[in-house]
């Protein structure tokens, strides 16, 4: 017997005890009939649980025609609730399913889409219009050539001088140097 079965059995015993105690407090029951009453109540409660487990609805797999009809250019029809969605990702997540589990549950092909075609095309066009994915190509052509050791030496000397003078070695926007801020506490001014 696993731990879960033991917990279920003890919860049924507890429920049976509660039901019998309420019944006995309102009705006259001879002491010799109590064990039989407890047993019958426990069996009834256990039977209800078993009947509930057996009545789980079997998943009806859609026909190939239903699968084709569920995919349109503007939306996908969910086999879970029959409603149209532009993307099934969030809908399936609310039902504790992944795309793979959804496909397996309904016998859908591996290439069954999770996003409507027009929605994907619109999002792709929006990304192209915003220039997303182009930064890598443009930044590769704009990168300066690597500095030689002779070019690095004057820059290091200038940074060392700035460190001794207490100035900030990083230039601000426009090439001007910035002053360092003092770290005073803000308080009421008198």
Task: Tell me the HSE value of 163 on the side-chain side, using a 13 A CA sphere.
Answer: 6
Task: Tell me the HSE value of 138 on the side-chain side, using a 13 A CA sphere.
Answer: 5
- pLDDT per residue as tens digits for the range 138-171: 665 666 666 666 665 565 555 655 555 555 555 5
90 or 174, which is more confident: 90
- Which residues are 76's β-sheet partners? 71, 85
24 or 177, which is more confident: 24
Give pLDDT, residue 34.
Answer: 87
Using DSSP bridges, classify how beta strands 76-77 and 84-85 pair: parallel, antiparallel or unpaired.
antiparallel
For residue 168 the two structure tokens come to 């900030």
- pLDDT per residue as tens digits for the range 167-182: 555 555 555 555 566 5
Give pLDDT, residue 14.
Answer: 84
Across residues 42-47, what is the average pLDDT? 83
Taking residue 115's Cβ as centre, other Cβ atoms within 10 Å add up to 16
């Amino acid at each position: 017997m696993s731990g879960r079965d033991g917990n279920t059995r003890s919860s049924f015993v507890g429920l049976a005890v509660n039901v019998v105690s309420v019944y006995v407090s309102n009705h006259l029951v001879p002491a010799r009939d109590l064990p039989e009453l407890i047993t019958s109540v426990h069996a009834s409660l256990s039977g209800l649980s078993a009947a509930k487990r057996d009545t789980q609805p079997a998943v009806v797999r859609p026909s190939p025609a239903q699968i084709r009809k569920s995919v349109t250019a503007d939306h996908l029809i969910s086999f879970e609730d029959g409603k149209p969605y532009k993307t099934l990702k969030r809908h399936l997540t609310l039902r504790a399913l992944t795309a793979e589990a959804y496909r397996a549950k309904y016998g859908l092909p591996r290439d069954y889409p999770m996003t409507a075609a027009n929605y994907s095309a619109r999002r792709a066009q929006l990304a192209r219009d915003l220039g997303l994915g182009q930064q890598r190509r443009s930044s590769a052509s704009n990168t300066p050539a690597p500095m030689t050791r002779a070019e690095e030496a004057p820059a290091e000397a200038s940074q060392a001088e700035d460190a001794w003078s207490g100035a900030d070695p990083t230039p601000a926007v426009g090439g001007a140097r910035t002053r360092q801020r003092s770290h005073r506490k803000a308080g009421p001014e008198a």
